[in-house]
Every structure is written in C-alpha cells, then in structure tokens.
A = this chain, B = another copy of it.
C-alpha cells in the first residue's frame, strides 16, 4: 500500500494533537524544533500530517515538550 501524501487521517489527527500540545505551551515551531534538536520544518510537516515520523523523532519531541511519548497519541 503506497504512501499517499495528505491522505492518512490518522497522521492528520496526530499532527493536530501535536500542534495543540505545542500551542498550549506557547511554543513556536522554531522554538520546539531547536529544543528537540530537529529541523523546524520537520515540525510543520508532522503537524500537517505530511509525514509518518519515527519513534526517535517522537521521543525527541516529547522530551522537548516534557511529556510522556504516550501523550502524543492521546487524541
């Protein structure tokens, strides 16, 4: 089953949740990206549901947000 950009609803919802968590903390994509030590536009791609990111990236983001990685899937 080929990956079709922008068609995976789960990734869309996941991205919305990440955005919500980030905005709740008043952080810009850039700030979070720096904190998580990943590129800024990577945060955008994830939040828009464009990519299916990896466990390692999720771990970096959750650490920067100071939450358990499970919270990223709590939606």
Contact = CB atoms under 8 A, between A and B. Distances in A.
Contacts of A69: 73
The secondary structure that dominates the A interface is helix
A55 B11 contact: yes
Chain A interface residue bracket vs B: 20 to 34
19 contacts: A1-B37, A3-B56, A8-B56, A10-B56, A10-B59, A11-B55, A11-B56, A14-B55, A52-B54, A52-B56, A52-B57, A53-B54, A54-B54, A54-B55, A55-B58, A70-B70, A70-B73, A70-B74, A73-B73
Interface of A: 1, 3, 8, 10-11, 14, 37, 52-59, 68-70, 73-74
